[in-house]
Chains A and B, each alone.
Chain A
Amino acid sequence: MNDIVVRENTSIATVGVQDFVTVHLDGQQVGIPVLAVHDVLNAQQITVIPRAPDWVAGVLNLRGKIVTAIDLRRRLGLPPLEEGKSSMSVVVEHNEEPYSLQIDKVGEVLSLEDQLFEKNPVTLDPCWREVSVGIYRLKEQLLPILDVDRLLAFEGKSQAA
């Protein structure tokens, strides 16, 4: 029902309710449109790729498919996860390629009313502004929403990173 609206992200503030998966990253909650999420996995064995951009955590085997793991903390300029803690994976797709976003842990699925949505404040860290669609004002805290496509639009950017 809402999938078209969510995927296109353009008319997000028009009608009704959107569903988001919240994930925890360094104490901050972030929302990912629920329809963009293919899988949520527990800690996986990740093969690191030497010489790859540092926000590439490596590759992992998802039921016989090779999935590139993105270290979301690094991608968003957050400090790396403390030693000994394992990350969870949220598998999303971009340009028909599966990617796994490495996060601290998954929160819950929230249905949020559009009226809570607000555009990014202009003062937001450029690193975040680039990948955030906007912010939902929750009671306890604010929930930035990630744009998966923009997050994974690395083409031609890996040099800079």
Chain B
Amino acid sequence: MDDLLNEFLTETGESIDVVDVELVKLEQDPNNKEVLDNIFRLVHTIKGTCGFLGLPRLESVAHASENVLGKFRDGELQVSESSVTVILESLDRIKEILAGLEATEEEPDGDDSDLISRLDAIAEGGGAPVQQPEPEPDTVDGEIIDPGLGRSLKPGEVSLEELEAVFANTPGPDGSAATDEPTPSNSSSPNSGASLFDRIGGEDTLAVASHLIAQRVDTEAKLKKYFEGTNQDQRKGRFMGLMLALFQDDLDSADAVGRQLITVAGFDEAQFDGLLELIKSVLTECQVKAEAVDEAVMTFELVRDAVINASKAVTKPKADAAGRAKPGEKQQTTAPEARRTSQSIRVNVDLLEDLMNMVSELVLTRNQLLQITRNMDNSELGVPLQRLSQCTTELQENVMKTRMQPIGNAWAKLPRIVRDLTVDLDKKIELEMLGADTELDRQVLELIKDPLTHMVRNSADHGIEMPAERIAAGKPEAGAITLNAYHEGGHIIIQIKDDGRGISADKLSGKIIEKGLATEGELAGMSEAQIQKFIFHPGFSMAEKVTSVSGRGVGMDVVRTNIEKIGGTIDMVSTVGKGSSFSIKIPLTLAIVAGLIVKAQDERYAIPQISVLELVRATSAEKAGENDHKIELINDTPVLRLRNRLLPLVFLNEVLGFCTREEIEARENSDDFIVVSQVGAFTFGIVVDQVFDTEEIVVKPVAPILKELEFYSGNTILGDGSVIMILDPNGIANKANSSVSDAAAEEGSDETRVRVATGAEKESMLVFVAGADHPKAVPLSLVARLEEISVDSIEKSDGRLMVQYRGALMPLVLADPTVTLREKGSQPVLVFTDRQFTMGLAVDEILDIVEDELDIKLASEENGVIGSAVINGKASEVIDVTYFLGKAFPEWLASKDMSEDASVSRSFERLLVVDDSDFFRNMLRPILSVAGYNVTAVNCAEAALKLMESGAMFDIIVSDIEMPDMSGFEFARAVRENENWKDIKLVALSALSGEKDINRGFDAGFDDYVAKFDKDTLLRSLSQQFKIQGDAA
């Protein structure tokens, strides 16, 4: 059964029950105007809705009763027992018809003329002699003269005023008393001023038109079969309703009526077009002006999908359709009499909340009982307890179900919002909603409603481009916003996807700098995704200008906060030009969640399972074997190596103030458990003393005086009756490292953050000893992993040292000729990876990781050394990783010729390096800065162009050729076209060094073309370019 009919049945059933009671009251107190008004209103609504839905029998009975009631109200008739009896009888009849309707979805056959004539007789009998302004039954079979139409209405037809009234009161019987217009009068209620409606000629024309359309579809061979199963009157009512709704801009109603229109499967686009033709011809026939006709026909496009989808839905077996009652209601096909309208009742939400709380308590008590009996030997309690347990579980499930609502409820308003936006913004947007019947807790639903609306608005406003823009970009004119909801392992995932312009990192960057959220330098080191995520920053609004739709500065951060408040997470992927996709992950319910029970210092705590990614057991450093996880310290910051990533750690003991770091370290001989948690995109580990099991916990809010403690999201009672606190990973992350801002938070996610040298930026350096006494250093960002490789596994092959590493042979290079491999045990090795090349650098000892300014003071002439720098107060040699990579892989480096010393002093020429490879940027920067250049490095051409726009100036640009999104060739062309930058020397740096490539590079505007990995040629080329420039100047 479709929702509309269902709703109608429920509502009408309720109304009738009320009328029943009220009528009896009226009988006792005939002068109570309030009661009478109430009855009249309810009956009027029933009548109106019946007509709207095309239920002629119901409508005529209701109409006749309403007539009598109207006269009561106007004082033209005295309330008498006999008249009330007849009205009650008519209500019974209505109930009968409703029951039939519910069983078969059709009005049952039957003759009401007797009843109606009696009602009419009452109306007539006491009828005032004056001319009745309202429609009045003038024949015994209930034919009614409609003043607006000027002819008699057939049963089932709706008088125009009534339709009007129905539209005015669509929300239903309650609350609309004040606005209800009880007496249908000849003066039609003021319409909303929809010009189209007026231009077409108002209701009269529509009435005629819908009549004609209803008739014609029978004669149109193509359309006929789709309207079988409805009689002409029903059809007429629907067309009338549809047109009224459409022309008066009441889209919701139009949509609903549109779905009613076709009851036969197979109605598709072509048929709809046919129908439009028909409508057009009829409207023209009705002497509507041509432009109005066109406009009118256009409005039908709005319901095209609804009509066609409705037809598609019909293809499902009827039985199935009938069973699809309201969510939560189970079909009872075997007992049709049980399927009465009273099957669903309205329950106060507070009552449900109370019920839920009680059940939560019950669950807790049950758990407690189970825990107690577990420790008892006599099993006398066992059986009843098990039964109790089972009942409780079922009860809990069912009560949870009462709170579940389809997410479609939260989406219901979106089509309208999007439609309005399309008008406001002059865009074309199609909204697709998938998985609308995915259910979730109503509490959660309430909380995500606004964020969702906000995000869809955002997508429509910022995401989707103007039609012209879209066509220019080769996309379909109409943008698409897709909402998708589905279950995934106890969570609900909601995706909001658009195929718009995506989020431009460039534009964002400007804004970020403007708002002071990050410096240019910081931004340069971030990936596009990281920059895009700034939209979640507080006070950040994407809109270029404030529109009425969005862009008031309360943007995505509010959305994020709201979602995180309910334990959810939000993530975003956006590709410039392709669109953005947001995905929200939220727990099914807030009341009962799965919690991981952990221990710190004799106290137990629960961590919500949703934020737990995995559990890792770490062994203390001394006992750790080769493959064991162990906690390591970088300058007092504990980290864990986890699958090629460094995981920042926090000690729960320390966070909760049980012991200081020293104490933790002192007692660190036991195993630690690390709960790897995720907060937004930030992943970190919480070190706990022990991990117990996962338990279903009932989340209770903490007392108001503890609200300020951000470590806890609530508390709960465990099965054994003890109270434990529920930890909030979010708060722990914040507290443990207050510097974990979002920008930094991203760094843990997918890639190692690479710092880029701009001015005196600090660089993490790995300091080690190899050969000579003085320490050596290498930028940490270049190091892929640190390994301890067992000496036994080191093999010699082809005169080179090799080790089997991760299923492949990895060449091992000594960091210094004087390094000797250890006799036994393991050898510390730094692993460097560049694309497919992975090499190990054997060193004597790894000392430390220090954060310091990388300022190379002295260039070195020694192979493999870039120069010396003061790191951590000591002179350290900064090694040249390219040299070692070349040594390990002869093919890696085109030339190892280091003969020329390039470190001729330069007067800080400004150099811009554009390369998407982190490795190369990091490699080139020290080499070039030691050669005396003032280096700025960016990771893509777009970033470089952004610098160009911002007015930065450089003397030379060194650019990679193969870069995603914008290749070096395109970049070069863009640079050459710019007024300010057109004279800058461009040096291409590429692995593609064929003649053709080189020529292509020169064509694109490069001044020189250097093979990648050829450090010397590059330096030579640079000095040459400078020379040229100097000469020119």
Check: B547 CB closer than 8 A to any chain A CB. no
Interface pick from B5-13, B701-709, B986-994: B701-709
In chain B, positions 698-735 with a C-beta closer than 8 Å to chain A are 700, 702-706, 708-709, 711-712, 715-717, 721-725
Q: Is the CB of B715 within 8 A of A95?
A: no
What residues on A are CB-neighbors of B703 within 8 Å?
Answer: 59, 66, 68, 97, 99
User: Which residues does chain A contribute within 8 Å of B603, judged by CB atoms?
Assistant: 47-48, 50
Size class of A's contact patch? 20 to 34
Which of A53, A59, A64, A95 has a CB less than 8 Å from the CB of B364? A64
* B721 neighbours in A (Cβ, 8 Å): 45, 61
User: Complex Cα distance A60/B364, Å?
Assistant: 15
B110 at the interface (CB under 8 A from A): no
**30 intermolecular pairs with C-beta atoms under 8 Å apart:** A47-B603, A47-B715, A47-B722, A47-B724, A49-B712, A50-B603, A50-B657, A50-B711, A51-B656, A51-B657, A52-B706, A52-B709, A53-B705, A59-B703, A59-B723, A61-B717, A61-B722, A61-B723, A64-B361, A64-B365, A64-B717, A66-B703, A66-B715, A66-B716, A66-B717, A68-B703, A68-B706, A95-B704, A97-B704, A155-B705
Q: CB within 8 Å of A: which residues of B? A: 361, 364-365, 603, 656-658, 700, 702-706, 708-709, 711-712, 715-717, 721-725
**Residues of B close to A52: CB separation below 8 A:** 706, 709
Residues of A within 8 A of B725 (CB): 47, 49, 59
Partner of B658, one of A50, A60, A154, A159: A50
Q: Quick one: closest A residue to B731, CB to CB? A: A51
In the bound complex, CA of A106 to CA of B172 (Å): 60
Of A52, A53, A56, A68, the most chain B CB neighbours within 10 A belong to A52
Contacts of A97 in B (CB 8 A): 703-704
Which residue of B658, B702, B704, B716 is within 8 Å of A155 (Cβ)? B704
Q: Is A158 part of the binding interface, using a Cβ–Cβ cutoff of 8 Å?
A: yes
A134-161 to B contact mask, C-beta < 8 Å, 1/0: 0000000000000000001011001100
Residue of A nearest to B717 (CB): A61
Known: A61-B721, A61-B722. A49 touches B709 (CB 8 A): yes
Q: How far is the CA of A49 from the CA of B703 in the complex (A)?
A: 12
Q: How far is the CA of A47 from the CA of B601 in the complex (A)?
A: 12
Mostly, the A contact residues are loop
Instruction: Among A49, A53, A56, A97, find the residue whose CB has the most chain B CB atoms closer than 10 A.
Output: A49
How many cross-chain pairs have Cβ atoms below 8 Å apart between A and B?
63
Q: Binding site of B, secondary structure by majority: helix, strand, loop or mixed?
A: mixed
Chain A residues closer than 8 Å to B657, beta-carbon distance: 50-51
Q: Shortest distance in angstroms between A99's beta carbon and chain B's nearest beta carbon?
A: 7
Whether B706 pairs with A60 at a CB distance below 8 angstroms is no
Nearest-CB distance from A156 to chain B (Å)? 9
Given the complex, which residues of A lie within 8 Å of B712, measured CB to CB? 49
- Contacts A59-B715, A66-B715; is A154 near B705 (CB within 8 Å)? yes
Please give the distance in Å from A43's CB to the nearest CB on chain B: 14
Given the complex, which residues of B lie within 8 Å of A48, measured CB to CB? 603
Given contacts A47-B725, A61-B723, A64-B364, contact A56 B717 (CB under 8 A): no
Chain B residues with Cβ below 8 Å from A61 are: 717, 721-723
CB contacts (< 8 Å) of A155 on chain B: these are 704-705
In the complex, what distance in Å separates the CA atom of A45 from the CA atom of B723? 9
Q: Tell me the minimal C-beta distance from B737 to chain A in angstroms.
A: 16
- By Cβ-Cβ distance, the 8 closest A-B pairs, closest first, are A50-B656, A68-B703, A154-B705, A47-B723, A59-B723, A61-B723, A64-B361, A61-B717
Which residues from chain B contact A60 at a C-beta distance below 8 Å?
723
Among A50, A56, A66, A159, which residue has its beta carbon within 8 angstroms of that of B723? A66
- Chain B residues with CB under 8 Å of A152's CB are 705
